[in-house]
Copies of this chain bind each other. A is one copy, B any other.
Amino acid sequence: MSSHLLLVACPDAPGLIHGITGIVYRHQGNIVSNSEFVDQETAQFFMRTEYKGPSDPVAVSREVKALLPKTAHVRCADMEPRRIVVLATKEHHCLGDLLLRHAHGEINANILAVISNHETLGDLVRQFGLPFHFVDHAHKNRPDHENAILGLLEPYRPEYLVLAKYMRILTPGFITRFPYRIINIHHSFLPAFIGASPYRQAFERGVKLVGATAHFVTDDLDTGPIIAQDVIPVRHTHGAKDMAQAGRDVEKVVLAKALGLVLEERVFLCGNRTIIFD
């Protein structure tokens, strides 16, 4: 008896749960966990159904689609490891943490390769036995650089891209090829700081908490739907360098958490917000 996931998002209407679970039932699926939420702002219905059974997910999915309006999003997913490519620049902390977790079976994904615009992290990636692709951005305009990356990505057919401190801004043209399938991590502070040297700004402001936000990448830079956030305390004894270390520590934790939620298909989009069935 294998496990299946049925994921539904559509406008709310009476009887949806009854109707959808009826299809699962008729396919002899036994529901292990069912989470449902109706957003009161948009009257959108979201449901994540984890069930066990002999059923054919394609057939289940087709019947559910037939039941719902055309605008509904319906997906019947297995729980196989997802195909992932990681993009990074020079910082090791998020990438290293993902590589360790991947090597020891802590994330439900296959990291297929790491692509970087610097050579700095090549040794780290190769020591874990994974392909490392260096795509220099020097002497290339942005579209050319992104095209070179897209060319490398193509054979891997990644389901998700993880930006593990990839410090180049992606163009809308690139992003639209992976709609809500690019996950980014960046620092965040209370209050927020915009522009260069955020840790410097945070230090000068004397913040007592350093935070990190993991989110989907959309055209609006750093403002896509938030998946996970956390903070760690800092003190006046922390210089700007210590605050950067604190930032690294919280960033790797938040990225790993967000990625886990995405890989288990626990994250739904609701406008610019996320519904998270954890």
Name A residues whose Cβ lies closer than 8 Å to a Cβ of B: 12, 14-18, 21-22, 24-25, 28-40, 92-93, 96-97, 100, 103-104, 106, 124, 127-128, 188-192, 203-209, 211, 213, 222-223, 225-231, 233, 235-237, 239, 245, 248-249, 253, 256, 270-276, 278
Contacts and interface: CB of A to CB of B under 8 A. Distances in A.
Chain A at the B interface: mostly helix, strand, loop or mixed?
mixed
Contact of A17 (B28, B34, B191): B34
B32 A204 contact: no
B211 A209 contact: yes
Contacts of A239: 40
Nearest to A208: B229
User: For the complex formed by this chain, how many copies does it contain in all?
Assistant: 4
Given A190-B229, A205-B273, A272-B206, A104 B92 contact: yes
A37 B34 CA distance: 6
B190 A237 contact: no
A21 B17 contact: yes
B33 A36 contact: yes
Given A188-B191, A189-B190, A229-B207, A33 B22 contact: no
Listed residue (A12, A18, A235) with the most chain B CB atoms within 10 angstroms of its CB: A18
A32 B38 contact: yes
A273 B100 contact: no
Contacts of A128: 127
